[in-house]
Chain A
């Protein structure tokens, strides 16, 4: 990535990255909190659904939102579009067990910066979060594979 184009929306490399998790699976979210905090990230909290995503982000001000897309309630894609409108500086990384070409395409069209397969795990997720903060589009290996193959 051509980082020379870095602008104000770039997170300062020296500062810890703050994240907000949106996932209906409480165990997973809790596990991620442990993993992210252990890795030095700032945990801004967890939402079980996408209903109040934009408002929460405005309030909590995370640099990155980790977003599941298979949740009951409001469509995460709609929430993502709203988030881009309301908080353009916040970056969303989709973290999903569904790795399908059409979903990947839809997530990026809605404004996602990254897409990570749950199979690739929390380590791949943390890597992606770091990448998007460097103004790079981030995808985990399985996502890249699925996208390239049109699966």
Chain B
């Protein structure tokens, strides 16, 4: 298609580009057709207006018709055009007859609208230009149609978007609300901090939630939207729940019912308080900016991206020093910048042109003018405009900020100087603001006094102080700060010394408080302080040192002195005067010697002078020194030579120490040493004696082991011997044989007794039967006959045993054995001479003396000393084992008694056995269960007997269980027998588990006597000590 016939023809239907041709004549039609074809315009020949109208409905660009056909089809055409879309105004070219003024035509033209009348005959050029104009007009209509379509699409999109928006609003964090159609009742809502929440519908929401001054505006808006059923949309103030005033942007939409009436209002309110504040601030700021612009004169720069041109106004040009007509390029721009500023500026430009950004441009840089070479600071700003994501233009301003920059730099430098001054100051500094928080603190303080307080800046000052100082100190500090903060009165303290609460250390400070104005316009308190702790510590240490020195010199046992080259004493410390009672006048020079002991004076004086004469580097002299109370005390005087820096001898300096205690101690020690030696000697002797005794004991122990084995075998041997002898004795034997048998029987009996005695030796003395007691009189009645049989003919036994009741602590068989041996010995001693053996007793309160006295030959001292040794005997081996007295000794010693021997040759012998006197055993014996009762329900006869034996040996009374009283102890073999009340009765249960019952001890079905006994004593001992 030839160029530009129809603008925006692209995308049009072919039909819509056609010219409908309704010619006056067929010839005309042909001619015009050729003409149009030649011009590249498509056409459709129509024969009637009806036909043409049909084509119009399908789409046409222009209708060219003759006046005649218009006249005929005007009605039809009008109807056809009426049904065209409203954007359509079909151009109609009417080929009119020349020179005829036709009213019909005029009417038809008026009806048809967009009509161009061309008179016939028509010139080709005219016709074509008319057709082309018509086609262009039609093309514009098509454009309108396209725009209409776009708009419709946009509207549909908008509707979708609004639906999404509504959903978003509902889901958003804004306050969603719902109101009655007349806005009278507010449904429950969650105020979200913007307005008060209400859980029930309320009708006073307007006064409650809306800021009073805004109520009329809100009411007016409500009235309007109710009347129009339109969107409510208003920014207004609200009463926030916390009492402050907030801003909200509130939108509400009417929800219509099926009749088109308002059913309810649904809306959301956004909290725009912050935005409003910002807007106010922005407005103020903008106001200032405008004023500043006016005052400073901003330059304007503009960069047209499309054609790549940069426009600078004269102010900008003057900064770079470029002329008014010079073409500005980016390179020119960059070349004027300070090299250090080029890269940041380039980056700022690139940021501004980044389509994903805001398009804001801001940079500060230095520009050097090409004309005068002056460098200025420039602040540039601007905004990039984007169209369809493409940057098209940057427009902005520049401002000469050199003066400001200089001021800033000056300020920074000044601040830096100040900061250095403060930070480097030897004092601490911090500021407490009007909220009583630490607003600022210099490094010295942060790392010094406040090092233990973290976080620090912004922290409550009271908290910080309480970390550092104990409560009373902290309180007074806080009080002073508050006072200065509220009254403005400065405060100064020079003697603040206290112990820190966060560390165990005393610190001292000089400090000063002043009220200051804070940047926020409120008041604050600045505290300067100087840490005087070190100074005070040094002072304190010095004081302490002096104190110690004084204490030392005052209390030290040393007495200091100084002499000159001549040996004259020139100084004596207080110690000397106090010790000796001398005055300075008496002591200085050589007067001090008068305080020494007369016996030591000459010697000590000589020794001192000798040392002085020889310039000895050291000397030490001991002498007795008279104390003020007249007593002489040993003293040690030690001197050391003094020399000047040039080596000149100056005399001596020295001290005198009271060494009397040491002297005495040394003497005492020497005496002790002597005593000790004596003691060691004595102990050595005792030890040797012990060794002798030990050797004896060892022999006795060896004998015990031997006799235990011997006793066992003896039983095996003696029983057959005895039984056979008894048989023999019963037999009919000759008298001589009978006597033999009797003699053997006697020997066997002796052997049995010896065996029993040997077994006594085998007993471990540590297992001494401490509880065994024997009643002497009853024992004698039983033992006398046995003793009598042991005496040889011619020796008589005489009893002088006391007839009163007297208990001794010894088991009855042991007593028998001991006395038997003594009596037997006595009898043996008098076998030849004959005589009397008397057994006697003496009972005192504590002890019992049992004596065996004979009137035989007596013993020599040597025999007396050795008689108790084992195997020592004076008799022929045939009748003595040499063990008799040893056994006696063993038995008596075991019982805790002792043996005395009173004998001398020719005057007989008396053995006196002394025993501790014992108490008669109670019925309970040693067990202490006397009076306690026990019942036994055990089916097995042997176990029953065993338990009974144990109970009896423990001194229980064994009673029937179902007697009148509950027994203290019950032994059963069946837990089932425990039915019924057993009260406090302890139970020993044979063979079954105790089942955790208290007071029940279960033992095995076949317990040993020990197990039974332990169980009984355990139960019986529940409230008492048993053994």
Interface residue ranges, A against B (CB under 8 Å): 1-2, 5, 7, 9-10, 25, 27-28, 30-32, 34-35, 38, 70, 91, 97-98, 104-106, 108-111, 113, 117-119, 121-122, 135-137, 141-142, 145, 147-151
How many angstroms between the C-alpha atoms of A148 and B771 in the bound complex? 10
Cβ–Cβ contact B945 & A119, under 8 A:
no
Cβ–Cβ contact B755 & A111, under 8 A:
no
The residue from A28, A30, A109, A150 contacting B716, defined by CB atoms under 8 A apart:
A28
The residue from A91, A118, A147 contacting B942, defined by CB atoms under 8 A apart:
A91
Cβ–Cβ contact B945 & A135, under 8 A:
yes
Known: A31-B719, A32-B719, A32-B723. A136 touches B945 (CB 8 A): yes
Q: A28-B720, A97-B716, A137-B949 are in contact. List 18 more A-B contacts (CB 8 A).
A: A1-B945, A5-B941, A28-B719, A31-B721, A34-B723, A38-B726, A97-B712, A109-B1011, A111-B942, A135-B941, A136-B949, A137-B946, A142-B756, A145-B813, A148-B953, A149-B763, A151-B763, A151-B764
Least CB distance, B1014 to chain A, in whole angstroms: 11
How many angstroms between the C-alpha atoms of A114 and B201 in the bound complex? 104
A residues less than 8 Å from B715 (CB atoms): 97, 117-119, 121
How many angstroms between the C-alpha atoms of A91 and B756 in the bound complex? 28
Cβ–Cβ contact B719 & A118, under 8 A:
yes
A residues less than 8 Å from B803 (CB atoms): none
The residue from A1, A5, A97, A136 contacting B713, defined by CB atoms under 8 A apart:
A97
B714 within 8 A of A: yes
B270 within 8 A of A: no
Known: A7-B941, A119-B756. A97 touches B722 (CB 8 A): no
Cβ–Cβ contact B711 & A119, under 8 A:
yes
A residues less than 8 Å from B292 (CB atoms): none
How many angstroms between the C-alpha atoms of A38 and B769 in the bound complex? 37
B997 within 8 A of A: no
Q: Chain B 1013-1026, CB within 8 Å of chain A: the 1/0 string?
A: 00000000000000
B916 within 8 A of A: no
B626 within 8 A of A: no
How many angstroms between the C-alpha atoms of A148 and B501 in the bound complex? 73
B residues less than 8 Å from A148 (CB atoms): 769, 953
Chain B, Cβ-Cβ closest to A23: B716
How many angstroms between the C-alpha atoms of A111 and B942 in the bound complex? 8
5 cross-chain pairs, A with B, having the tightest CB-CB distances, nearest first? A118-B715, A97-B712, A109-B1008, A31-B720, A31-B723
B residues less than 8 Å from A108 (CB atoms): 946, 1008-1009
Known: A9-B941, A117-B715, A142-B759. A104 touches B722 (CB 8 A): no
Known: A97-B715, A113-B942, A145-B813. A119 touches B726 (CB 8 A): no
How many angstroms between the C-alpha atoms of A13 and B953 in the bound complex? 26
B residues less than 8 Å from A142 (CB atoms): 756, 759
Cβ contacts A to B, 12 pairs, < 8 Å: A28-B719, A28-B720, A38-B726, A111-B942, A118-B718, A121-B752, A137-B946, A137-B948, A142-B759, A149-B763, A149-B767, A150-B767
Cβ–Cβ contact A109 & B1007, under 8 A:
yes
The residue from A10, A32, A97, A141 contacting B711, defined by CB atoms under 8 A apart:
A97
B958 within 8 A of A: yes
How many angstroms between the C-alpha atoms of A97 and B715 in the bound complex? 6
The residue from B712, B727, B941, B1010 contacting A105, defined by CB atoms under 8 A apart:
B1010
Main secondary structure on chain B at its contact with chain A? helix
Least CB distance, B1004 to chain A, in whole angstroms: 8
How many angstroms between the C-alpha atoms of A77 and B889 in the bound complex? 38
Cβ–Cβ contact A2 & B720, under 8 A:
no
How many angstroms between the C-alpha atoms of A80 and B946 in the bound complex? 16
How many angstroms between the C-alpha atoms of A150 and B771 in the bound complex? 13
A residues less than 8 Å from B151 (CB atoms): none
A residues less than 8 Å from B944 (CB atoms): 5, 135
A residues less than 8 Å from B1010 (CB atoms): 105
Least CB distance, A80 to chain B, in whole angstroms: 11
Cβ–Cβ contact A34 & B946, under 8 A:
no
How many angstroms between the C-alpha atoms of A119 and B712 in the bound complex? 7
A residues less than 8 Å from B958 (CB atoms): 2
How many angstroms between the C-alpha atoms of A136 and B944 in the bound complex? 9
B479 within 8 A of A: no
Chain B, Cβ-Cβ closest to A101: B1010
How many angstroms between the C-alpha atoms of A109 and B720 in the bound complex? 30
Most buried by A among B711, B726, B730, B941: B941
The residue from B720, B755, B1007 contacting A27, defined by CB atoms under 8 A apart:
B720
B residues less than 8 Å from A5 (CB atoms): 941, 944
Known: A118-B716, A137-B946, A151-B764. A106 touches B1008 (CB 8 A): yes
Interface residue tally of chain B, by bracket?
A: 35 or more
Chain B, Cβ-Cβ closest to A35: B723
How many angstroms between the C-alpha atoms of A132 and B510 in the bound complex? 106
How many angstroms between the C-alpha atoms of A31 and B717 in the bound complex? 10
B811 within 8 A of A: yes
Cβ–Cβ contact B945 & A122, under 8 A:
no
B residues less than 8 Å from A28 (CB atoms): 716, 719-720
How many angstroms between the C-alpha atoms of A91 and B764 in the bound complex? 33
Least CB distance, B731 to chain A, in whole angstroms: 12
Known: A97-B711, A98-B712, A119-B715. A137 touches B720 (CB 8 A): no
Cβ–Cβ contact B811 & A122, under 8 A:
no
Known: A5-B944, A136-B945, A137-B945. A119 touches B755 (CB 8 A): yes
Cβ–Cβ contact B712 & A118, under 8 A:
yes
For chain B residues 942-960, which have a beta carbon within 8 Å of chain A? 942, 944-946, 948-949, 953, 958
Least CB distance, B267 to chain A, in whole angstroms: 100
Cβ–Cβ contact B727 & A119, under 8 A:
no
Cβ–Cβ contact A104 & B811, under 8 A:
no
For chain B residues 762-776, which have a beta carbon within 8 Å of chain A? 763-764, 767, 769
Cβ–Cβ contact A31 & B941, under 8 A:
no
Least CB distance, A24 to chain B, in whole angstroms: 10
Known: A2-B948, A104-B1009, A109-B1008. A119 touches B723 (CB 8 A): no
B1006 within 8 A of A: yes
How many angstroms between the C-alpha atoms of A13 and B334 in the bound complex? 144
Least CB distance, A47 to chain B, in whole angstroms: 17
Chain A, Cβ-Cβ closest to B756: A119
How many angstroms between the C-alpha atoms of A149 and B770 in the bound complex? 9
B residues less than 8 Å from A10 (CB atoms): 941
B residues less than 8 Å from A25 (CB atoms): 716
A residues less than 8 Å from B755 (CB atoms): 119
How many angstroms between the C-alpha atoms of A151 and B760 in the bound complex? 11
Least CB distance, B710 to chain A, in whole angstroms: 10
Q: Chain B 35-72, CB within 8 Å of chain A: the 1/0 string?
A: 00000000000000000000000000000000000000
How many angstroms between the C-alpha atoms of A151 and B708 in the bound complex? 12
Cβ–Cβ contact A38 & B727, under 8 A:
yes
The residue from A31, A119, A136 contacting B724, defined by CB atoms under 8 A apart:
A31
Least CB distance, B590 to chain A, in whole angstroms: 87
For chain B residues 53-107, which have a beta carbon within 8 Å of chain A? none
Chain A, Cβ-Cβ closest to B946: A137
Chain B, Cβ-Cβ closest to A25: B716
Known: A5-B944, A28-B720. A119 touches B813 (CB 8 A): no
Known: A1-B945, A28-B720. A109 touches B1006 (CB 8 A): yes
How many angstroms between the C-alpha atoms of A2 and B949 in the bound complex? 11
How many angstroms between the C-alpha atoms of A98 and B710 in the bound complex? 11
Chain B, Cβ-Cβ closest to A122: B719
A residues less than 8 Å from B1009 (CB atoms): 104-105, 108-109, 147
How many angstroms between the C-alpha atoms of A121 and B745 in the bound complex? 14
How many angstroms between the C-alpha atoms of A108 and B873 in the bound complex? 43
Most buried by B among A110, A141, A148: A148
How many angstroms between the C-alpha atoms of A34 and B769 in the bound complex? 37
Least CB distance, B550 to chain A, in whole angstroms: 74
Chain A, Cβ-Cβ closest to B764: A151
Known: A97-B712, A97-B713, A111-B1006. A35 touches B726 (CB 8 A): yes
B residues less than 8 Å from A119 (CB atoms): 711, 714-715, 718, 752, 755-756, 759
B residues less than 8 Å from A117 (CB atoms): 715
How many angstroms between the C-alpha atoms of A10 and B78 in the bound complex? 153
A residues less than 8 Å from B948 (CB atoms): 1-2, 137
